[in-house]
């Protein structure tokens, strides 16, 4: 499921997010991390031959960080809002600078030897993993995204992707999209925002 956010300016630190992010972290520390959505995301990884305890979905990695007593990470306002929505929904998100994506976006399995430069990490090898790609190559997956399409201070158009397994109820996905849309409008204030659904069966391949 995707959300397109256009005509906005990246704010590095949005003060109005301080209190809601702190409150969200406090509430998340009372959870156990074994909810149905987390289990569904782990199940998707296993069906793809990936051990989710070794390559964790980004949503679960965020939750584990918060439950250790750390705050939700602060990067910039748009990333902060998406991290907040991801960890609450337990669904992995991808966030991309739309102007750095070229041609048609494809959701597929990573090819042998395929990799990209990760954000704050070495090359991310995506052989056999679920990836998003364009005409240049893979640029994102439910665990980590690429430097090429990351949100920067010059980003004015972004794409948010919610990686929702097919066995997560559509009402949960719809509610997540509504929450993302509302929070982006409240804290980011883009001129336009739209969403679309493109859920695809990849597990059996």
Picking from 157, 141, 156, the residue whose alpha carbon sits closest to that of residue 48 is 141
- Do 161 and 85 form a contact (C-beta atoms < 8 A)? no
- Residue 203 in domain: no
How confident is the model over 48-73, as pLDDT tens digits?
A: 999 999 999 999 999 999 999 999 99
Question: In sequence order, what are the residues at sequence separation of 6 or more whose Cβ sits closer than 8 angstroms to the Cβ of residue 40?
Answer: 165, 167, 168
What pLDDT is recorded for position 113? 96
- Residue 204 in domain: no
What pLDDT is recorded for position 120? 86
For residue 165, give its domain range: 2-196
Q: Is the pTM of this model over 0.85?
A: yes
What pLDDT is recorded for position 86? 99
How confident is the model over 91-125, as pLDDT tens digits?
A: 999 999 999 999 999 999 999 999 999 998 889 99
Residue 141 three-state SS: coil
- Residue 137 in domain: yes
Instruction: Give the residues of the chain that fall short of pLDDT 70.
Output: 198-205
Beta 123-125 vs 130-133: how paired, if at all? Answer: unpaired
Per-residue CA distances from 12 to 69, 179, 186 (Å): 23, 21, 16
CA 6 – CA 11 distance, rounded (Å) = 14
Q: How many domains does the chain have?
A: 1
- Residue 148 in domain: yes
- Do 138 and 146 form a contact (C-beta atoms < 8 A)? yes
DSSP 160: E
- Residue 205 in domain: no
């Amino acid at each position: 499921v995707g959300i397109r956010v256009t005509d906005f300016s990246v704010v590095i630190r949005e003060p109005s997010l301080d209190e809601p992010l702190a409150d969200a972290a406090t509430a998340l520390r009372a959870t156990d991390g074994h909810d149905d959505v987390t289990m569904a995301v782990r199940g998707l990884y296993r069906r793809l031959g990936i051990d989710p305890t070794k390559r964790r979905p980004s949503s679960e990695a965020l939750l584990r960080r918060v439950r250790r007593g750390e705050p939700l990470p602060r990067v910039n306002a748009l990333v902060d809002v998406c991290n907040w929505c991801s960890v609450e929904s337990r669904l992995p998100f991808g966030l991309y600078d739309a102007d750095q994506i070229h041609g048609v976006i494809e959701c597929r399995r990573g090819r042998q030897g395929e990799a990209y430069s990760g954000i704050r990490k070495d090359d991310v090898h995506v052989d056999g993993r679920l990836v998003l790609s364009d005409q240049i190559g893979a640029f994102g997956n439910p665990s980590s995204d690429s430097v090429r399409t990351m949100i920067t201070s010059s980003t004015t158009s972004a794409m948010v992707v919610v990686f929702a397994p097919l066995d997560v109820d559509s009402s949960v996905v719809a509610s997540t999209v509504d929450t993302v849309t509302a929070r982006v409008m409240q804290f980011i204030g883009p001129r336009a925002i739209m969403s679309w659904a493109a859920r695809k069966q990849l597990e059996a391949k």
